[in-house]
Structures are given as structure tokens and as C-alpha cells.
């Protein structure tokens, strides 16, 4: 039986793979599992439920609310808000769990469900496994222990969630954004109201794109996966910078005044150096994944900032941050975590902090981002190979060693097995794109021969 939970909740085509019945059942299972581990002990449990603007979110939200209330959980519906807002409100209101309905940067037909525990933290793998196991048991016919009468959950709207979250975002900024002109592309997603309001309250002049969700246009040619519109708007309006979110606004990419992209590694570098100077970068160390550009690693070394690298995935970044007590981490994709102010990646907070750094220094974003040189990176996917033998193939190990000697300290080779497909990803970085491409293609040929 295929596992339901992926790296970020349960996701699939809404009303196809992800049905109302599944969503209701998972919500009931989550309530029972959290009750069993003592999360609800001694009090009546409360859940925060939010969603992005997808049309399917309307019926899936109804299923979540029905499932939780039928399990005896009181529900506060916060409506359309970003994923990090649901996480924040779960912690700030002392709720026992949070539920977010979103498929992030995926196209509109998809949707997803993710759960947060008390404090607004993502569930541990073992809890997700227990939820999935109990869900399957009851889907097969085992009856639930259902409360009745006054013990069923009650449901009410919590309209204050928007203002509470925006006030939190603005309140944690180190300085105001007065004098900055910022273009925001919210991908017709969950940050369509939040991000423009937060930037405006912080003092910025705001120009908006992708802030008119109709349930069908989320991520459609806009947002962090389609930056062309943002680039053009920043240049046309003479803005200082632009920020782009994905559908649930847990990510942020940016463009500078010239319309050039500033990716997640560069944003992380700008924030890390600023926090290092301010003394707020705990242990003078930043956490990133192995996919971060080598230029980021070299830059952190020059600036005297420590770097810890994890497996790919924001959950691994967060685990390392919590384990070691670090305050900043993130991915090249723009999923950054500022752990002093958020329990998960927060695209609006990231954009605000980036703009605050521009305002505080009086330097253009391009100059700040120049702290790191983004080395050319080539990624080749090699399909239909035995990915399980990547670590044991002597021929492949020899080829990788030869490539690493050829590239020296100014280049890098990374081979990764896909977690969901029968393919191996070959990534090569080098000072020149032609060199990176040549080495990547050569290694891809070895992967095909050795693992095919």
C-alpha cells in the first residue's frame, strides 16, 4: 500500500486522489492519535483550520471541520491564510493542532492537507505514520469511538486571525520599510491579502501582482515559479525590489531593481550576514541543504559564518535547526526559516526581512546579494536506472572522484537518488557553465552505464 504522507503532508489531485472522505478520515485519525499521545489531556481540544484559495479547498475544508468536530475537537476557522499563518496562530492561540489545506506551488487541480502539533510545529514522522495506520484501519471498517451530545466539537469563525498574523509579522521586523517601493506577486494564493497589507503597514509603497484569487488561477503563470511578470513590473515601476510567493506563501524569491532574480541561496546569504552583524545569528551558523550553491558555502566561509548542510527538504533543515539551536536556515527554492519568529518557512516574513535589510543599509538589493557569487549549476536527471546502487557502484565512485579532482575547490559534484521516481539526479557546479555541463553529461553517461 502506497504511503499517503509525503515530505509535506498528503497531496494529490483534489476529488481524485485526495477525496472528501480521505480528508475527513485523516482529520479524525489525527485527532485520535494526538489524543492518545496526551496532546489533549485534561482539556477540551481546539484546532485552527485554514486553506489557500483553491476551489477544492472549500469542500475539503468542510470535510476537515466535520472530521475534527465529530472527534470532539473545537474548530476555529481562519479562512484563506498562508500556511505559516496557520502554524503561527496554532502556537499563539495555544491550540492543540492546526490543519492547512494547500498544495503549495502545485497547479490548481491539486490540493493537500498538512497538520501542525501544539506550538505550530510540523508533526514528527512517527505521528504521521500512526495517523496513516489508524486511517487505513478505520477505512477498512473498524468503527470510531465517537463522542455524542455536548462532547462533539463546536465550530466558529476566527476572523481576527488575519490581523493577528499581520501584526506579528510587522512587529518582529528590526526596522521599518519607509521609502522603499516593493512589487509583490502573491501567485493569486494564500498571501494575496496578507503580504501587501504587511508590507504597507511596515511603511513600504506597494504595487501588487497576482492578488486577485478566483479559486482557479492560483500559481497560473505567476508567483515564485513564474518570475517574468515580476521582473517586468519591478523595472517598469522603478521599484527597489520585488518579492514572489508560492500558493501557500511558505516560500519567497526576489528580484532586484534591474529585474534580476535573487534566489533562495542569495536571500539566505543576505539575511545571514545581516543577522551576523546584528548578533542575532545564533552560534554564528546558518543551516542549508546539500543543494545550496557552492557559491553560498564559499561566501559564508569568507564572512566567518558557519554552515551546516542537511538532506534536501525543509523538514530536515528545521530538524537540524531545532537540534542545534540555530536561528536561520533555508533552501535554494526560497523556503527560509527564521526560527526566532516562525516555526516553519514563511515567505512573507522572508520578504519583509529582506526588504528591511535593504532599508537599513541604504544599499540596493543587487549589492547586498553580491556577497555571494552564484556558480553555474547543471542538473541532469538520469531515468530508468537502479538508484539503490548509487552508493555501491565502484565505476560510479571512480568517475565522481575524477570529476571532483578536475573541478578542484571551485566546483562540486552531487549525485542524489530521487525519493519518488526510478532516477538519479546528477548536479555539477563549476566556475563556467560549459565546464559544468560537460562534466554533468559525462557523469550521466556513467550512471546510465553503471546502473542501467
Report whether 154 contacts 74 (CB < 8 A).
yes
3-state secondary structure labels for all residues of 133-195:
HHHHHHHCCCCCCCCCHHHCCCEEECCCHHHHHHHHHHHCCCCCCCCCEEEEECCCCCCCCHH
**Maximal C-alpha separation, the chain:** 72
- What cell does 229 get? 511578470
pLDDT of res. 264: 97
Binding residues for Mg(2+): 104, 246, 248, 250
CATH class for domain 377-451? alpha beta
Taking alpha carbons only, the member of 372, 448, 315 closest to residue 6 is 315
pLDDT of res. 1: 63
Q: What is the pLDDT averaged over residues 388-392? A: 87
The answer to whether residue 13 scores a pLDDT higher than 70 is yes
Are the folds of 5-159 and 377-451 the same? no
Q: How confident is the model at residue 420 (pLDDT cuts 50, 70, 90)?
A: low
DSSP assignment letter at 240: S
- Positive/negative CA dihedral, 289, 295, 296, 299: positive
Please report, for the chain, the start and end positions of each structural domain, with discontinuous segments joined by +.
Answer: 5-159, 164-369, 377-451
pLDDT digits (tens, 9 = 90+) for 141-183: 888 889 999 999 999 999 999 999 999 999 999 999 999 999 9
Q: What is the pLDDT averaged over residues 360-365? A: 98
Q: How confident is the model at residue 390 (pLDDT cuts 50, 70, 90)?
A: confident
Angle at which helices 161-171 and 83-92 cross, to 10°: 90
pTM of this structure: 0.92
Grouping H, G, I as helix, E, B as strand and the rest as coil, residue 327 is coil
The answer to whether residue 90 scores a pLDDT higher than 70 is yes
Which residues on neighbouring strands pair with residue 100, listed in sequence order? 50, 114
3-state helix, strand, coil in the chain (%, to 5): 40, 20, 35
Question: For the chain, how big is the Rg over CA atoms in Å?
Answer: 23
User: Which CATH architecture describes the domain 5-159?
Assistant: 3-Layer(aba) Sandwich (3.40)
Superfamily of domain 164-369: Alpha-D-Glucose-1,6-Bisphosphate, subunit A, domain 3 (3.40.120.10)
Residues annotated as part of the active site: 104
308-316 contacts: CB < 8 A, separation 24 or more? 312/416, 313/7, 313/289, 314/8, 314/250, 314/344, 314/345, 315/7, 315/8, 315/122, 316/289
Binding residues: 104, 246, 248, 250
Amino acid at each position: 500500500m502506497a504511503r499517503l504522507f509525503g515530505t509535506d503532508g498528503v497531496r494529490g489531485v483534489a476529488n481524485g486522489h485526495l477525496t472528501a472522505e480521505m480528508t475527513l478520515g485523516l482529520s479524525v485519525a489525527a485527532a485520535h492519535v494526538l489524543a492518545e499521545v496526551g496532546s489533549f489531556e485534561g482539556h477540551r481540544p481546539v484546532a485552527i483550520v485554514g486553506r489557500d484559495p483553491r476551489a477544492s479547498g472549500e469542500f475539503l475544508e468542510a470535510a476537515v471541520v466535520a472530521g475534527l468536530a465529530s472527534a470532539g475537537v473545537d474548530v476555529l476557522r481562519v479562512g484563506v491564510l498562508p500556511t505559516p499563518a496557520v502554524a503561527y496562530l496554532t502556537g499563539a492561540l495555544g491550540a492543540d493542532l492546526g490543519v492547512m489545506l494547500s498544495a503549495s506551488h502545485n497547479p490548481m487541480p491539486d490540493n493537500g492537507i498538512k497538520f501542525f502539533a501544539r506550538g505550530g510545529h510540523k508533526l514528527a514522522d512517527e505521528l504521521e505514520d500512526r495517523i496513516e495506520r489508524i486511517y487505513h484501519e478505520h477505512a477498512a471498517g473498524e468503527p470510531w469511538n465517537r463522542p455524542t451530545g455536548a462532547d462533539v466539537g463546536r465550530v466558529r469563525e476566527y476572523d481576527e486571525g488575519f490581523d493577528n498574523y499581520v501584526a506579528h509579522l510587522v512587529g518582529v521586523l528590526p526596522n521599518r520599510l519607509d521609502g522603499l517601493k516593493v512589487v509583490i506577486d502573491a501567485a493569486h494564493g494564500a498571501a494575496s491579502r496578507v503580504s501587501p497589507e504587511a508590507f504597507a503597514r511596515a511603511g513600504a509603497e506597494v504595487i501588487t501582482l497576482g492578488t486577485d484569487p478566483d479559486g482557479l488561477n492560483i500559481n497560473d503563470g505567476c508567483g515564485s515559479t513564474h518570475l517574468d511578470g515580476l521582473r517586468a513590473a519591478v523595472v517598469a515601476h522603478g521599484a527597489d525590489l520585488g518579492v514572489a510567493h508560492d500558493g501557500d506563501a511558505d516560500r519567497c524569491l526576489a528580484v532586484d531593481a534591474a529585474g534580476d532574480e535573487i534566489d533562495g541561496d542569495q536571500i539566505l546569504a543576505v539575511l545571514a550576514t545581516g543577522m551576523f552583524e546584528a548578533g542575532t545569528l545564533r552560534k554564528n551558523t546558518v543551516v542549508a541543504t546539500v543543494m545550496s550553491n557552492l557559491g553560498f558555502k564559499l561566501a559564508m566561509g569568507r564572512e566567518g559564518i558557519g554552515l551546516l548542510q542537511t538532506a534536501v527538504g525543509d523538514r530536515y533543515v528545521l530538524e537540524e535547526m531545532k537540534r542545534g539551536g540555530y536561528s536561520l536556515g533555508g533552501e535554494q527554492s526560497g523556503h527560509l526559516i527564521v526560527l526566532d519568529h516562525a516555526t516553519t518557512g514563511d515567505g512573507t516574513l522572508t520578504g519583509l526581512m529582506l526588504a528591511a535589510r535593504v532599508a537599513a543599509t541604504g544599499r540596493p538589493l543587487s549589492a547586498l546579494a553580491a556577497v555571494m557569487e552564484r556558480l553555474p549549476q547543471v542538473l541532469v536527471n538520469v531515468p530508468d536506472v537502479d538508484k539503490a546502487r548509487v552508493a555501491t557502484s565502484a565505476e560510479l565512485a571512480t568517475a565522481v572522484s575524477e570529476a571532483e579532482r578536475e573541478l578542484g575547490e571551485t566546483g562540486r559534484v552531487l549525485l542524489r537518488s530521487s525519493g519518488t521516481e526510478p532516477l538519479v539526479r546528477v548536479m555539477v557546479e563549476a566556475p563556467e557553465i560549459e565546464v559544468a555541463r560537460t562534466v554533468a553529461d559525462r557523469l550521466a553517461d556513467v550512471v546510465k552505464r553503471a546502473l542501467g
